């Protein structure tokens, strides 16, 4: 990160916001260095004075965000400098996921490593929302205790749900049978989570953000999540596109056969009825063709160069690939000019819960000053 603090007005910049900016700058400089940098190296990269960097580093170490590694053995003249690294015993993110046929939780540390992961396979459709979220809370508590025994401090939680979310409420999750479920309030009522900041988001959005972190140079792609339902997260120039009301990505309800099968959403011929996990079990060629039709529509509309398949599609990727690509070649107007890259999610079937935990970690990394205020 080389961005400096800039201001679009001539209003004075507050001292506290300069410090917040510089804390984030130092932390990201350490995070993005190939080798653990010394304080002097951080000063050189950021353009801050060595005294300023040292004061900021001391605060970040005290807050559990950075750790100072032992210097390498002395080989020449002078004292070798200690290297700085993100702390693997500091704040961590708790990812939560409720899906139609499983509950999942994971804990990711500041360095991005998954430290705990628990999955409970069970059909959630018979459960009322409060019971399902209580069960998820119990699972989360187990992962949290184990993480804390490992020296980590859970900084917050994010819940991934397969449905339309607005301000912490799940407005509609047809595959779970949820309508207007205040998931945030229910989770806050779970004793083991009551002390944590919690956010609720669509599972494909969180998964897309998770993939973005490990996507290398790919900054524009469509992530598609294949579960009982099908969702998508659209990343454009490194930013998640959420739509006007936050409801983008409902690819599962794109019509692929106008006169086709009835869907739980009230429409018919939806992609979900041909390529959802249940249909996938019944016949992969049909699922691949339906996916190809819907994905060709996305590419024709948005000129997206990369499609990432996650969830069950990551598992079945090799068996779906040819069928999808055949439809893309046929139905994408520009296929002949530039082929579309189709690949399995790097985070595999865990992208959503991992992306949820990552979102919390990213929040701490982007604003370490807020974390220091909490623990200071």
Q: Which residues bind its own copies (CB under 8 A)?
A: 3-4, 6-10, 164, 171-172, 174, 220, 232, 234, 236, 241-251, 253-258, 265-267, 289, 293-294, 296-298, 300-305, 330-334, 337-338
Q: Which is nearer to its own copies, 261 or 373 (CB)?
A: 261
Check the CA dihedral 161-174-231-313 and report its sign.
positive
Q: How far is the CB of 23 from its own copies (least distance, A)?
A: 20
Q: How far is the CB of 92 from its own copies (least distance, A)?
A: 32
Q: Which is nearer to its own copies, 11 or 149 (CB)?
A: 11
Q: How far is the CB of 222 from its own copies (least distance, A)?
A: 9
Q: How far is the CB of 1 from its own copies (least distance, A)?
A: 13
Q: Which is nearer to its own copies, 99 or 248 (CB)?
A: 248
Q: Which is nearer to its own copies, 93 or 269 (CB)?
A: 269
Q: How far is the CB of 43 from its own copies (least distance, A)?
A: 17
What does the alpha-carbon distance between residue 56 and residue 39 come to, in Å, rounded to a whole number?
10
Q: Which is nearer to its own copies, 29 or 248 (CB)?
A: 248
Q: Which is nearer to its own copies, 144 or 253 (CB)?
A: 253
Q: Which is nearer to its own copies, 34 or 337 (CB)?
A: 337
Q: How far is the CB of 328 from its own copies (least distance, A)?
A: 10
Q: How far is the CB of 55 from its own copies (least distance, A)?
A: 22
Measured in residues, the chain has a length of 376
């Amino acid at each position: 990160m080389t961005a400096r603090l800039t201001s679009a007005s001539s209003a004075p910049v507050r001292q506290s916001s300069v410090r917040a900016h510089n804390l984030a700058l130092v932390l990201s400089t350490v995070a993005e260095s190939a080798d653990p940098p010394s304080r002097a190296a951080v000063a050189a990269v950021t353009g801050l004075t060595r005294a300023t960097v040292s004061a900021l580093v001391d605060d970040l170490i005290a807050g559990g965000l950075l750790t100072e590694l032992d210097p390498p053995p002395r080989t020449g003249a002078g004292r070798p400098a200690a290297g700085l690294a993100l702390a693997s015993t500091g704040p961590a993110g708790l990812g939560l996921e409720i899906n139609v046929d499983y509950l999942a939780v994971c804990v990711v540390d500041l360095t991005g490593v998954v430290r705990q992961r628990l999955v409970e396979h069970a059909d959630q459709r018979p459960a009322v929302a409060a019971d399902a979220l209580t069960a998820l809370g119990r699972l989360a508590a187990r992962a949290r205790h184990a993480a804390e025994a490992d020296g980590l401090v859970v900084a917050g939680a994010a819940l991934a749900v397969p449905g339309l979310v607005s301000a912490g409420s799940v407005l509609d999750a047809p595959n779970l049978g949820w309508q207007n479920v205040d998931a945030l309030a229910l989770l806050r009522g779970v004793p083991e989570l009551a002390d944590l900041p919690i956010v609720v988001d669509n599972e494909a959005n969180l998964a897309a953000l998770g993939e973005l972190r490990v996507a290398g140079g790919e900054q524009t792609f469509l992530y598609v999540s294949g579960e009982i339902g099908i969702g998508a997260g659209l990343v454009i120039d490194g930013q998640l596109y959420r739509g006007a009301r936050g409801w983008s990505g409902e690819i599962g309800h794109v019509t692929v056969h106008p006169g086709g099968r009835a869907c739980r959403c009230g429409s018919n011929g939806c992609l979900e009825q041909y390529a959802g996990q249940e249909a996938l079990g019944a016949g992969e060629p049909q699922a691949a063709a339906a996916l190809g039709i819907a994905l060709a529509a996305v590419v024709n509309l948005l000129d997206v160069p990369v499609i990432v398949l996650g969830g069950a599609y990551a598992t079945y990727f090799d068996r779906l690939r040819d069928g999808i690509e055949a439809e893309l070649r046929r139905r994408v107007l520009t296929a002949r000019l530039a082929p579309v890259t189709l690949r399995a999610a790097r985070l595999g079937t865990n992208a959503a819960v991992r992306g949820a935990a990552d979102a919390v970690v990213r929040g701490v990394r982007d604003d370490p000053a807020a974390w220091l205020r909490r623990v200071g």
